[in-house]
Amino acid sequence: MALFMSKSISGFSKLSKAKKIDWIVTTYFSNSEEARTIIEQYWNTDAKIQQLHDEFIENTITNYYLPLGVAPNFLINDKLYTIPMVIEESSVVAAASKAAKFWLDRGGFKTKVLSTTKIGQVHFIYHGDVHKLRAFFKHIKPQLLSDTASITKNMADRGGGILDIELRDKTKDKKGYYQLHVSFETLNAMGANFINSCLEQFAKTLKDGAKSFELFSDEEKKIDIVMSILSNYVPDCLVRAEVSCKVEDLTESDLISGEAFAYKFIQAVSIAEVEPYRAVTHNKGIMNGIDAVVLATGNDFRAVEAGVHAYAARHGRYRSLTHAKVEDGIFHFWIEIPLALGTVGGLTKLHPLVKLALELLHHPSAKELMQIVAVAGLAQNFAALRSLTTTGIQKGHMKMHLLNILNQCGANEMEKQTLTEYFKSHTVSHSAVSEALHHLRSGPGVSG
């Protein structure tokens, strides 16, 4: 019903920011002044910074803050990093820091970029003779390259650009469906604009060239371009990160031996390799680390998510992105993951916090960032599996969550201190916290 009661509006994007806010608060909120105050509270006091944020997207009314935390002590290929993480979920940064410290004392993380190729496609429909289409492709290929020379020049000067253009026959999947399947090297750029500009030029050259290709009949000359777009599936833009140590060095506690821990840990990973319900949660934990660094460094986390999950399902079943084994008394735990990232272009020069995050990471190249991000994912998964297979996840989780619950219940600083102490020896739940707060406020306090 609410949908029908709201008003539609035309020309909204042309209104000033103040007018947009007026319309929003008066149309949708019972207490419009309270809504306006919240919106305005989150404006940046520096008008320049606010304008920058206003212009990232359309119809900006305010800013939506997420915390930027840091996880220190990451030793990656013998170099120390403090990793910036943007995430709303409590425990993630603490877990990353703990895993980093654990592996710092055991040689750190070893990483390697396996490949950096990105893909773009021109999708088109052609119902004529396939042999003629192949002849046309051979004829037009040099022109596809020469027509994009002005777009590719700078990238090519730095060693990147178009690697190959293939004509792919997809008619088994869909009648008349063909592609130009193009591979690119975009160096330190994520490359979306570069790739899409090249593809749109290819589409134009292809369409125009077909009109005058003499082997084509009049019908065949009408190649129908459907769309030109990069692919976020990047199985050949791959990075590997690994940790290893002697099995007996794998535990810090007397509660479980290194052997028993390795056994349980490998069981947990292998369950995620065969059971999709578990694999999705297992990989979600990995993405807690990956997305947080991808966001902090101004990269496109939706692209990364889509590509990573497609990769996890590449053999026809959704599986774990990490793997573990013991070989000759050595425990190995590793991840191989596709990551198309950039450290130039996009937000990297625009967003002050992205610039800060990249400086914190020693101004990484895209390849270095791939390695750092993969490590954050592996560390996160290590921390999650370590908790899950030993103490269980809720102990640490709820401890971190306690503060959120206390904030939700409106606890003051004194109350937070008292109840944090109390819940060191009591199980945290929403109702337990609000009951304890109630007791504290109503006189007898909490004890035990």
Catalytic residue IDs: 89, 284, 300, 397
User: Residue 151, Cβ neighbours under 10 Å: how many?
Assistant: 18
Interface region with ligand MEV, contact rule CB under 6 A, candidates 78-86, 198-206, 247-255, 281-289 = 281-289
Residue closest to 373 by CA, chosen among 189, 285, 241: 241
Q: Pick between residue 154 and residue 394 the one whose CB is nearest to ligand MEV.
A: 394
Token output for 439: 């007791």
- Alpha-helical (H) ranges within 317-412 are 352-360, 366-389, 394-408
The answer to whether residue 384 forms part of the interface with ligand MEV (CB under 6 A) is yes
Distant-in-sequence, close-in-space partners of 19: CB < 8 Å, separation ≥ 6? none
Q: Pick between residue 167 and residue 295 the one whose CB is nearest to ligand MEV.
A: 295
The answer to whether residue 27 forms part of the interface with ligand MEV (CB under 6 A) is no
Q: Report the site for ligand MEV in 387-416 (rule: CB under 6 A).
A: 388, 393
The answer to whether residue 282 forms part of the interface with ligand MEV (CB under 6 A) is yes
Distance, in Å, from the CA atom of 115 to the CA atom of 236, rounded to the nearest integer, reads 6
In the shown chain, the binding pattern of residues 51 to 90 toward ligand MEV, with x for contact by CB under 6 A and - for none, equals --------------------------------------x-
Minimum distance between the CB of residue 75 and ligand MEV, rounded to whole angstroms? 23
Q: Pick between residue 334 and residue 422 the one whose CB is nearest to ligand MEV.
A: 334
Q: Report the site for ligand MEV in 89-128 (rule: CB under 6 A).
A: 89
Beta sheet of 110-113, edge-to-edge order? 110-113, 238-246, 330-338, 322-327
The answer to whether residue 280 forms part of the interface with ligand MEV (CB under 6 A) is no
The DSSP symbol for 260 reads: H
Residue closest to 93 by CA, chosen among 103, 83, 102: 83
What does the chain come to in residues? 448
The answer to whether residue 288 forms part of the interface with ligand MEV (CB under 6 A) is yes
Q: What is the dihedral of CA 45, 50, 53, 55, to 10 degrees?
A: 170
Minimum distance between the CB of residue 308 and ligand MEV, rounded to whole angstroms? 15
8 A C-beta contact, residue 160 and residue 185: yes
The DSSP symbol for 340 reads: -
Closest CB to ligand MEV: residue number:
285
Distance, in Å, from the CA atom of 140 to the CA atom of 165, rounded to the nearest integer, reads 11
In the shown chain, the binding pattern of residues 198 to 217 toward ligand MEV, with x for contact by CB under 6 A and - for none, equals --------------------
**What residues pair up with 180 in beta bridges, in sequence order?**
122, 167
The DSSP symbol for 7 reads: P
Minimum distance between the CB of residue 405 and ligand MEV, rounded to whole angstroms? 17
Number of residues that bind ligand MEV (CB under 6 A): 9
Minimum distance between the CB of residue 397 and ligand MEV, rounded to whole angstroms? 8
Q: Considering only residues 84, 209, 258, 285, which one is a binding residue for ligand MEV as defined by CB under 6 A?
A: 285
Q: Which residues bind ligand MEV (CB under 6 A)?
A: 89, 281-282, 284-285, 288, 384, 388, 393
